[in-house]
Structure 1
Amino acid sequence: MDADIAIVGAGPAGLSFARALAGSGLSVTLIEQQPRAALADPGFDGREIALTHASRKIMEDLGLWSRIAEADVSPLRDARVMDGPSLFAMQIKAAAAGHDALGYLVPNHLIRKAAFSSLMDAGEARLIAETKVTGIERDGQGVQLALSSGETLSARLIVCADSRWSETRRMLGIGAATKDFGRSMMVCRMEHEVDHDHVAWEWFGYGQTLAMLPLNGLRASAVLTLPQGEMQAVMALEGEAFNAEMTRRFDGRLGAMKLVSTRHVYPLVGVFADRFAGPRCALVGDAAVGMHPVTAHGFNFGLQSQERLAGRLIQAVRIGRDIADPGLLADYDRAHRTATFPLYQATNLIASLYTDERVPARLLRKAALHFANRMVPVKKAIAAHLTQAV
């Protein structure tokens, strides 16, 4: 047996999962298509991750948080949700959940870098970079993985962490429900004139969706969601033309805006796997649940999935239980499904409603925001869910 556990995908979820197993006595091998250098020092990808208090605690326990400079962590104090051209906004305040901040904004590439360095410093996991899994066979004794290098890797358990478009999940015969929102999301950093006071915006406009994620100083991560054809026209703009276009799209509410980073576009597709575990296999991260970003929980769910699975495997080792025991894997499946399915469905509903341009939908959108803003218990519940304090 080459390893106890083979992890396919060395993104944040896969790296964190491997790091969580350090010291457990289990041998771990990660298989990743990217070069080692790209994992050690990933480039800026535009994404700013909204971390809950629970996710910060997980990252602290894994030795990730201390590797991120304080200047790169932006507090997310409160949030505003707006609809159409109206100045009215539903206010979600951290104080409603008894905290100074709803969470923290950290660049995705710095989380990846911290996860990689923490794992490498632990010195227990083996990394096979620039390699793909080309075939999988399972039997009662273990799993055999055919690699693009021509080699074969044997393991007791395979864990898929290779994105919401996981090829490994498909090889295992696990389907997934997908929700294609027919939109693309552009993310970039912008400087602006008006202070954001570390309050995030989610602005469901007509014909577009905007988000403003407050970074330290007079900077923000600007998120623009449009149909692909319209997005191509925006991406074709350069220099002052792009700055003027973004200032216009934000209705001048942040003053003049100026691009200060590269721009990145991602398709908006939600994914929920039919199963999170099976014979000698399990899914973590986006391979299990790929969220629409509107509720900002996708990465947090990914961290929680690896923690749920790692905790069960470590306990199994302690009591001498097979790490691929069907009951153990089924328990992980139930726990993670229960934790994610309601919000996954609610997120898809919100995203679908607030991009519906028909008159009845517009009226319902406004009514829902006004109703929620008046209901203090509802706003407290939303704040507590966003905060996920521990």
Structure 2
Amino acid sequence: MLDMLVVGGGYVGLSVAVAVKQAAPHLAVAVVEAAPEHAWKKDMRASAIIAAATKMLEIFGIWDEIEPEAQPITKMIVTDSKMSDPVRPIFLTFDGEVADGRPFAHMIPNVVMVGALRGACERLGIEIRHGLSATGLKTGDTDIEINLSDGSALQSRLLVACDGVRSRLRDFAGIKTVTWDYGQSGIVTTVEHERPHHGCAEEHFLPSGPFAILPLRNNRSSLVWTERTNDANRLVAADDLVFEEELERRFGHKLGALKVVGDKRAFPLGLTLARSFVAPRFALAGDAAHGIHPISGQGLNLGFKDVAALAETIVEADRLGLDIGAINILERYQSWRRFDTFRMGVTTDVLNRLFSNDMAPIRIARDFGLGIVDRLPGLKSFFIGQAAGTTAKDNPRLLAGEAI
């Protein structure tokens, strides 16, 4: 029997497996992943990783492997305009460093991050089983059993579900969610441009939703382009000429000619918050616990906070000789993470509703607010520290750069 079974082989699932196994090598840990073995190598997307999360990756011993492919975000600018505006005034700028001199975030190719985490799993002796999805589960007094799509079953003292925002395991465990659809989709792709971006990220608030330009290595940028769902599906289905023409209208010409070099994919956007993060011998982490709007770029980083808090809870309980799957132990994790998750979900919901419209009075009010923040260095420093995850008083040790 396993001590901990993780379902989901993405960032969050692999990270929680590594965090627990590294701190408690005697625990038997395994990962089950629905995708085929090499599917992760085809993911051409990139993700923004905050400073606190890079500290955790340093503890894992993989940051030196990742950093050469990571693009520091050295600056961020925020604009608010209509599509027809000839000029997009900059209302807010952030310098990209936090107190210890490190960038507040890096853009990291998904294939680089997942590859490094999988390498850590291999070194630690964590088995990853591919091509298997969950078909059911049964909770007992001392273990939880999961049925898999190949007809086999696995038993573990603790099951951690990291199987995404549409988590089947969450449903099997009977955990309800608060969910609503924004009627928007996020178009994700990568573009190549003539001129360097100098590490500057941009977020343009347009009437249909935010349009984020996030810097990558080698004169490339990752885009998260929010549109109403019907328009997003039309754009992704269009030929490259039409897509690039619409892209240039939003991106502008400051970086020269553009060329789409990555797949174009559209993801429906909504808010999903689990009513509970835990059940007996069962815990949710990452998108399985919370799916939020990408307007703040914090979705994945919320998952890393889950990883650090859950791993610390499990390892400390194990060192005290306690049952790591007991509900009273898991409730410590829930109390640690639930309020922060709810707060971020509400914040992104309000921001999206505030900025994804073109009502003149609201535009005037929000632009005034952005201008006020831009003129108050102390407030800007507070916001950048919050975004980087370095100023939270209740940070788990891994996010503070300390081993568990």
Q: Which bracket does the TM-score occupy, shorter chain normalised?
A: over 0.9
Return the alpha-carbon distance in structure 1 between the equivalents of residues 237 and 2 of structure 2: 48
Q: Which residue of 2 aligns with 1:282?
A: 283
Cα separation, 2, equivalents of 1:282 and 1:345: 22
CA contact (8 A) 1:244 1:257 kept: no
**Native 8 Å contact 1:184 1:265 kept in 2:** yes
Per-residue CA distance 1:76-103 (angstroms, 9 max, x = gap): 0111111114323311123575635221
Contact residue 247 and residue 255 of structure 1 kept, 8 A? no
- Give the CA deviation at 1:133: 1.4
| Separation in structure 2 between the aligned mates of residue 244 and residue 285 of structure 1, nearest angstrom | 35
Corresponding residue number in structure 2 for 1:117:
119
**Which position in structure 2 is the counterpart of 1:311?**
312
Query: What CA deviation, in whole Å up to 9, does each residue of 1:102-123 have, x standing for no partner?
Result: 2111012221121112101211
Aligned to 2:255: 254
Contact 2:209 2:352 in 1 (8 A): no
Corresponding residue number in structure 2 for 1:92: 94
What's the CA shift for 1:355?
0.5
Distance 2:98 2:91 in 1: 16
Q: CA separation in 2, counterparts of 1:276 and 1:358?
A: 37
Match 1:52 to one of 46, 50, 55: 50
Amino acid at match of 1:6: L
Deviation string 1:220-250 (CA, Å, 9 cap, x unpaired) is 1122211122123322333444333311222
- Is 1:188 the counterpart of 2:189? The answer is yes
1:377-388 alignment to 2 at 5 Å? 377-388=378-389
Q: Per-residue deviation at 1:194? A: 4.2
In the alignment, the residues of structure 1 paired with residue 165 and residue 284 of structure 2 have an alpha-carbon distance, to the nearest angstrom, of 10
The aligned amino acid for 2:117 is: A
Tell me, in whole angstroms, the C-alpha distance in 1 between the residues paired with 2:20 and 2:335.
Answer: 21
* Other-structure match for 2:63: 65
Cα root mean square deviation, aligned: 2.0
Distance 2:312 2:233 in 1: 44
Q: Distance in 1 between matches of 2:95 and 2:7?
A: 39
Change (3 A) 1:365 1:255: farther
TM-score after normalising by structure 1: 0.92
1:118/1:12 CA distance change after superposition, 3 Å: same
Pair 1:345–1:151, CA change in 2 (3 A): same
Q: Secondary structure at the match of 1:182?
A: strand
> Following superposition of structure 1 onto structure 2, how do residues 152-301 of structure 1 map, counting pairs within 5 Å?
152-301=153-302
Q: Residue 79 of structure 2 aligns to a residue in which SS?
A: strand
Deviation at 1:54, TM superposition (A): 1.0
**Cα distance, 1:256 vs structure 2:** 2.4
Q: Secondary structure at the match of 1:321?
A: coil
SS in 2 for 1:131: coil
Cα shift at 1:331: 0.8
Q: Which residue of 1 aligns with 2:333?
A: 332
Separation (CA, whole Å) in 1 of partners of 2:275 and 2:220: 40
Q: Distance in 2 between matches of 1:182 and 1:99?
A: 40
SS of alignment partner, residue 112 of structure 1: helix
Query: For 1:15-57, what per-residue CA distance to the aligned partner results, in whole angstroms no more than 9, with x for missing partners?
Result: 1111112252111232221122325xx21342x2111111001
How has the CA–CA distance of structure 1 residues 206 and 251 changed in structure 2, closer, same or farther, with 3 Å as cutoff? farther
> Displacement, 1:191?
2.0
Distance in 2 of aligned mates of 1:11 and 1:374: 40
Residues 189 and 15 (structure 1), Cα distance of their counterparts in 2 relative to 1, 3 Å cut: same
List gaps (5 residues or longer) in structure 1: none
SS of aligned partner of 2:356 = coil
Distance 1:253 1:328, change over 3 A: same
Contact 2:295–2:348, Cα closer than 8 Å, also in 1: yes
Determine the C-alpha separation between the residues in 2 that align with 1:69 and 1:53.
12
Corresponding residue for residue 75 of structure 2 = 78
SS of the residue 2:38 aligns to:
helix
- Separation (CA, whole Å) in 2 of partners of 1:179 and 1:357: 22
For 1:185, what is the secondary structure of its paired residue? strand
Contact 2:51 2:102 (8 Å CA) reproduced = no
- The 1:208–1:254 alpha-carbon spacing in structure 2 relative to 1, beyond 3 Å, is farther
